[in-house]
Structure 1
Amino acid sequence: MKPLRFLHLKLIALFVFCIAVALSPHIPDITYRSEITDYFREDNPEVKNFHNLEADFGVQQSLLILLHSQTGTLLSEQGISNLFTITSKIQALDGVERIQSLLSTAISNNQQDTRSLYRHIKDGGDLSDPILGQLADNVSNSSLLSKNGTVASLQIHFADTEQIETLYPLIRSTLDAAFTTPGLGEVHMLGPVEIKHALHHALMHDGFYLMPLVLITGLGVLWYFLRSWWLVVSGATSIIIALWLTAGIVGLLKLTINQTSALAFCIAFIIALADIIHLLMSFTHQRPDLPPQTAMLNALRSNFMSLFLTSLTTGIGFLSLNGSSSPVFATFGNIAAIGVACAFISAISITSAMAVWRQTNARNQEPDLFQRWSLAINAGRTRLKAYHYGLFYLITIALSCCVFLNDYHNDPLDYFESDSPIINASTLSETEFGIHHPITVQLNSNHRDGIFTPEFLHALNGFESWLDAHPMVSRHNSYSSVLTQLKRHLYQGNLKWSASPNQSSELADLWNLYEMASPDNTAETLGLDKHFQSAVISLGIPKLSSTQLLQLQSDINQWFTNNAPAIKISVTGHAILFASIGKQLTSNMFIGGLLSAMVISLLIGVFLRNMRIGVLSLIPNLFPAGVVYGLWGTSVGVIDIAAAGTLSISLGIVVDDTIHILKRYIGFRESGLPPQLSIEKTFEEVGAALMLTTFILSLGMMVLTLSIFGPNQTTAILMASIIVVALIYDFIMLPDLLERCDGWLFSNYKLRATTPAAQLQ
């Protein structure tokens, strides 16, 4: 029967391989996106506001360029000429709709002709001192030019967002050729398009560097503990087929990945490696006189249920991310759950079939380092006194309470390394303009030409006065402020005419003058929709916490409720999205993690036929996460969506060790062994394997901390920490709980008496 059963195993392996081949054509169907809004559901009102603003005004698909001069102020004849050359070359690119810069500012010549500075230069006008003086006055309190004149900004808007990926390198090369290479200064980029580019760069970095590093590290670990190149080849083949299967299924489901969800393939690789080593270590420790196929079948029999249950609980932990209401984290969880299932199937079939093809010298190894450590730790645990455990539990509870020291904060710019180009650009923006994030406030009058009404103008002017006094707003700009500047220049800077327009006719006249100043001047460039129903106010804010951002949003909404209830407003931007929706996602992820822990506890009780064991397993599995998040609160103190999502992921993984211990322990107790001896024999059998898998998982996670993408780093650091701490609690807390609660756990069992010889087997 045994050869037949192994023949079935080989047929299963062949079937798995054929499925992988059949799914191969679907792998190219995996699509990639790096849109920052993909982290949130499309039906969320905040996301709808964001996309509506993008559709109406195009402000979200823009690229902000900061030109940092090293040759002096840009507010000079030479500086303006260089800026004109750069703007002209970029504007000539097919797909660039418009560029807003200090060249867009309207100026008046000696004949009182008003036109944009760009049009003035293009028509051959000179850059006399009066012209430069007007320009300096226009940009004195704007984000177009820094106070010292060494940093100028250009905001590029695109006619077709599909062409942005093609235009980006062309714009970069134009800037390098016209500004960087001649030694005029440095170029820095910000804005939604640059964030998208930085996200794509993070994915490429992790794909080209981390995946090979994880692979090399994994194969090195395999060889070190198995000391057989053939077993390494068997394990590597199994991992490749598992990832092959995963990619094929993901493509078949047409899932979309980004720099976060792509990390699921790395995690699936690490878990597959742990499964394989667990199985092959059991195979190599079978009696040397057994035939290879028999030894492998014995290894499968002793590990199948544990591997199956651990794969099931790990998959549930990942699937719980679907409750986060974040498409990216839901996709991450689904891919990882698929990878865990494929890793299990591949391990018990491909690995088992390949490992016995060739005779290896890895059978019946002497106790290794982890075996010796496991026995030493268990021996040390038995010498602990009651007050030792009391102190241990007290420290555990105290550290877990430190979870409340964490504050919620979610800033998309924190996702990038401190020395990355986008952070350098952000630092320059904060230093020169006081702007860390832009925020857009859209005001909707609810009827055509509504922005020209006195009521709307009165509300707008009052709101801008309120913004002037708000401590959380560095700068703001609207169509009213631009037209007010234009009016002042018409009257040669006379302060008598510096008041904001408050009459419909005056505003209409100024709009006509603005439109005639340049053919590039449109309603959209002024922040208006084509029906003159809505207007946007651009806010520049310093670096704020998420709580402060939400307070600012609430203050703005409250101002309009009190002063202009007829105007419909929306406050949006990347910072607002991550502050408002991210808080909800964080809460959902924590709740999802706790629910998955309960489901896992129920499954443990069902599969181990003891629901009380399932309930007890919650304690040593939840406390490690509590301790790590408590330490995180005392050191970092910030919880974002990545840190919250790690709870669900880690719970499914750390429960693996608990399952192996409980399965063996219940078996020994049912056979009649007393609690202390059952624990001792349990750790003799599985202690080394638990330490080994913990080492593998934590090592793999530590490799992932080398990611240049912040959420991936956070996930890897927290997971590695929780996995290590969980092993400590499985070695100290779980045995103590099993001994103390033995009467309650096994009150419904009729323990079978066995002979001393049987007890020692």
Structure 2
Amino acid sequence: MQLFSGQKYLNLAMFLLLLLTIAGLQHLTTNASFLAYFDQKDPLFAEYQRLQENFTSRERLLVVVQRKDGGSLLEEDGFYRQSRDLHKQLEGLPEVVRVRGFLTALKLKSNIFLSPQARTAMDGSFISADSSTALIVLDVALQNRKSARQILAFNGQVTALVEAAYSDDIAGYLSGTMALNNAYIDTVRHDLKYFIPVLLGIMFGLLWWSFRRFAIPLMLMGVGALSTLAAFGAISWMGHAVTAINAFTPIIIIGLSLVTAMHNVLSFYQARAEGKSAEQAVKDSFQMNLKPLTLSCLTTAVGFLALLFSPSPPVMVTGIAAAVGLSVSYLLTISWLQAGLLRFAPPADVAAGCMERLNVSRLSCGGQKRVVSAAVLLLLLGGWGLTQLTVDDNVYEYFPEDYSFRQSVNIIDAELSGASGISYVVSAGEGRAFAPADLKTLDSFTGWLKEQPEVLKIVPGSRALKQPDSWVRLAEEQLYNPDTHMLKLRVRMPQQSARAMIAFDDRVRQWVEDNPGSLNIYTGGSADLMFAHLSISNARSMLLSLLVALFAISLFIGFMFRGWRLMTLVFICNFAPLILAYGLLGISGGAITLGSAVVMGMIIGIIVDDSLHILFKYRRYRRSESETAALKRLWTDVIPAVFISSLTMILALTVGLLSDFKPIFEISLFSIVIIFIALLADMYLLPGLLKMRFFQRHFR
């Protein structure tokens, strides 16, 4: 049966499109470097690159060695010899350019190593004051710093050498940018291990319970799987790479593909339950749902494309992949799925049983005024909560406490010179060497930095700059570039939140403006500072994209319905869940982070779908039925699909709660909360508002 002219050509075109996009999967690349999260045109990224080009282009891996019982490492039998052997083994690794640490800083002499005065002079850089913790720093040059395989292999080698070097009383932890990359890779591997099987199990179980036929879940999940493959093939053709945060994208696409098809499938089952033939049921469901299906997919795709406002490329890739996947899902729904429904059409009694199981009319309630009044009070509470909301984040908290990287960060904060930091490039200008007057200004700058409460250490310190061979040693330590005469000041501090890190850097820039001199002090650069700015700017961008998408979708719907009243209705019912969800976050004292901000950019496209189906079909019913009859039909014919599609999406997103990566966990949690509130709004608030005279005037 052909539902419309040219359907067979659409089926053929879909086959060729899938072949073309899925073929792109062979070119799909991954990027395990934390630098993938930043736009290369960002000024902060440019400053970070300046540091890399002028001082070192190598990655850094820190090895934290700590005695488990808290005692002194120096009292451990053979520790000095074991450490010396470990240094030699690490230097022998082909990827290692240089090894520094507590031994090299103390000139590898046992008498100096045991000197308390020497350890005090190190000021916590490589060994703690109580000698319970020591640090080894590796400068690493991988052939491909983006390769997850190379990162894991090298970090695994270092871990094995450290474990073999020391007794069971001493623990070794990895930290630094190389360990951060390793942590990202570990989270992706953990998530993929659980996401796909748990997702497929949950969805198959729910769909089988709903339809009691294996063919329907297999068809719907097949549409989702093909849409996901096509989406990742498309982003591969576009030249984008996949990062840790993109591991959650398949769940979004598969969940949305089910939501896209659910209204069509349930309309088909409703028609079969009424005794219509399979051919007529497919035709009726197609005609009934084509317009709202098309508009809902369009608005959802627009909502996800709003993620292009994000300053982070991986977030943009999520938006592109979701929009492409949803578009492919839409085309599969109006082509192959129709043929599948006709091929596996259920008997009328089976369809009737399905509709009876999904009958949610028993959940309906009267009391229009009470529902609207309660919604107004909740929105006022949510609005007040928004005034308490702040934007903040901490990249170190993205990983669980038991991760080696997270443990190393806490140890460095507690025992050494701090895990966070910002590097400032200082020059005398015009490529000239530092003069005595320049050093005096530099001394004032470092003196002011030491007075700041966050600062634990500055490298190099004033004492190091005044020694006869200081510039030669600083050049060896990659802190001074003799060609450009640029000096790198590393400011070390405990891990800071995004707002605290930016506030500190702002104070530094203000000091530079207030104290002009012969020195050029450039903008601070570090991974910590880049992540801080990324979190703040991403939240602002996502808020802007949310408002743009919401207003654009509302205006578009108003144009389609030829009425500003329904435009207002859509705006209220889709903005209310966001106000309440983020208001509750503000009331609880939480802050908007990278994960919760991404939800702002993508969620409007998800929750607007069901509102569109309700309004389109309510308008159709009102052409021939009374207000009461039309609302009753909403509960029997439309809201079951709203309920099961929202429930499916919520259950799909619960898979993300298993993630070890905090942004994915937050994306899942906030999406679940917002979709649940949106479901309540569609089931109760929207019908309640439709009863109001103000909105009924549109239908008269």
Flag whether TM exceeds 0.5 (same fold): yes
1:483-517 CA distance string (max 9 Å, x none): 5xxxxxxxxxxxxxxxxx2xxxxx5x3237xx5xx
Q: 1:305 is matched with which residue?
A: 291
Matched residue of 1:261: which SS? helix
Of 554, 575, 578, the match for 1:601: 554
Aligned equivalent of 2:574: 621
Q: Which residue of 2 aligns with 1:510?
A: 469
The corresponding residue for 1:31 is: 29
1:578-657 equivalent positions in 2, closer than 5 A = 578-635=531-588, 637-657=590-610
Aligned to 1:493: none
Which structure 2 residue ranges, 5 or more long, are not aligned?
none
Structure 2 counterpart of 1:96: 96
Q: CA deviation at 1:690?
A: 0.8
1:367 to partner: Cα distance: 6.2
Counterpart secondary structure, 1:64:
strand
AA aligned opposite 2:676 = V
Alignment of 1:179-218 (within 5 A): 179=163, 182-218=167-203
Equivalent in the alignment of 2:520: 568
Among 454, 461, 467, the alignment partner of 1:472 is: 454
CA contact (8 A) 1:95 1:167 kept: no
Contact 2:7–2:335 under 8 Å retained in 1: yes
Alignment of 1:361-760 (within 5 A): 361=347, 363-366=350-353, 368=355, 371-373=358-360, 375-378=361-364, 380=365, 382-384=366-368, 386=369, 389-433=372-416, 435-451=418-434, 453-478=435-460, 480-482=462-464, 501=466, 507=467, 509-511=468-470, 515=472, 523-531=475-483, 533-569=485-521, 570-635=523-588, 637-671=590-624, 673-742=625-694, 745-746=697-698, 751=700
Q: Aligned in 2, Cα 1:187/1:11: closer, same or farther, shift over 3 Å?
A: same
Choose from 117, 123, 137 the match for 1:155: 137
- Asked if 2 retains the 8 angstrom alpha-carbon contact of 1:524 and 1:530, the reply is no
Distance in 2 between the 1:153 and 1:730 partners?
A: 57
The residue number in structure 1 matching 2:79 is: 79
User: C-alpha distance in 2, partners of 1:432/1:574?
Assistant: 21
Paired position in structure 2 for 1:328 = 314
Of stretches 164-173 and 220-229 in structure 1, the one that deviates more from structure 2 is 164-173
- What is the rounded CA distance, in whole Å, between the counterparts of 1:743 and 1:198 in structure 2? 53
**Aligned twin of 2:257:** 272
Give the letter aligned to residue 95 of structure 1: E
Deviates more, 1:351-360 or 1:205-214: 351-360
Distance in 2, Cα, partners of 1:588 & 1:187: 40
Quick one: structure 1 residues 669 and 290, their matched pair in 2 at CA, closer, same or farther if it must change by over 3 Å? closer
SS at match of 1:148: coil
Q: Is the 8 A contact 1:701 1:716 kept in 2?
A: yes
Q: Distance in 2 between matches of 1:189 and 1:211?
A: 30
Structure 1, unmatched stretches of 5+, are 107-116, 121-126, 484-500, 502-506, 516-520, 752-761
- SS across alignment from 1:694: helix
C-alpha RMSD of matched pairs (Å) = 2.6
2:153 is matched with: 169
The structure with the largest alpha-carbon Rg is 1
Structure 2 counterparts to residues 17-166 of structure 1, below 5 A: 17-58=15-56, 61-70=59-68, 72-75=71-74, 78-105=78-105, 117-118=107-108, 127-128=110-111, 132-133=115-116, 135-139=118-122, 141-160=123-142, 162=144, 166=150
Contact persistence 1:411–1:579 (CA under 8 A): yes
User: Could you tell me whether the CA contact under 8 Å between 1:206 and 1:707 is conserved in 2?
Assistant: yes
What SS is found at the alignment partner of 1:352?
Answer: helix
Give the Cα separation in 2 of the matches to 1:177 and 1:53.
Answer: 30
Conservation of the 8 A alpha-carbon contact between 2:65 and 2:173:
yes
Deviation at 1:135, TM superposition (A): 3.4
Between 1:229-238 and 1:698-707, the stretch displaced more is 229-238
Cα shift at 1:203: 1.6
C-alpha distance in structure 2 between counterparts of 1:723 and 1:639, whole Å: 18
Match of 1:98, SS?
strand
CA–CA distance in 1 between the matches of 2:250 and 2:115? 57
Residue type of the alignment partner of 1:511 = S
Q: 1:738 to 1:360 in 2, by over 3 A?
A: closer
Partner of 1:518: none
Residues matched between the structures, number:
692
> Aligned with 2:535: secondary structure?
helix
Q: Could you say if the C-alpha distance between residues 397 and 189 of structure 1 is closer, same or farther in structure 2, counting changes exceeding 3 Å?
A: same
Moved more, 287-296 or 470-479: 287-296
User: Cα–Cα, structure 1 residues 252 and 184, in superposed 2: closer, same or farther, change >3 Å?
Assistant: same
Distance between the aligned counterparts of 1:642 and 1:358, measured in 2? 41
Q: Relative to structure 1, is the Cα distance of residues 254 and 545 closer, same or farther in structure 2, using a 3 angstrom cutoff? A: closer
CA distance change for structure 1 residues 167 and 368 in 2, over 3 Å: closer, same or farther?
closer
Tell me the distance in 1 between the aligned counterparts of 2:581 and 2:8: 43
User: Residue deviations 1:249-293, cap 9 Å, x none?
Assistant: 222222222111332222001111222333222222223543323
The question of whether the paired residues in 1 share the 8 Å contact of 2:162 and 2:172 is answered with no
CA spacing shift, 1:254–1:363, aligned 2, 3 Å = farther
1:322-379: CA deviation from partner (whole Å, max 9, x where unpaired): 1223322111101110011111111222222123224544743236577443x2333x
Q: TM-score, normalised by structure 2?
A: 0.92
Q: TM-score, normalised by structure 1?
A: 0.85
Q: Deviations over 1:564-591 (max 9, x none)?
A: 4432222122221122343122111101
1:176-228 per-residue CA deviation (whole Å, 9 max, x = no partner) reads: 34445742511111111111111112122222221222122222222111111
**Residue 351, structure 1, aligned to residue 337, structure 2:** yes
- Name the residue aligned to 1:498: none
Secondary structure at the residue paired with 2:246? coil
